Amino acid sequence: MACHLCVDTSPANFKMNDDDSNAYVYKQPENDEEKELCEESLELCPVNAIGNDG
């Protein structure tokens, strides 16, 4: 079962794929609020699947 935490935390930026098995970045954050929510998703990710390349 896939984790929906990032999608729940930042739905404007993360979506689930068609078979609901993986989340992916739908769009990069465009403002401070979206950036904060994406950073929160990164910190909360239970499997450390989200990274930040700068």
The pTM of the whole model exceeds 0.85:
no
pLDDT digits 0-9 by tens, 1-54 = 567 899 999 999 999 999 998 899 999 999 999 999 999 999 998 888 888 887
- Torsion on CA atoms 18, 19, 24, 28, rounded to nearest 10: 20
Taking alpha carbons only, the member of 6, 41, 1 closest to residue 19 is: 1
CA 28 to chain centre: 10
Give residue limits of the domains in the chain.
5-44
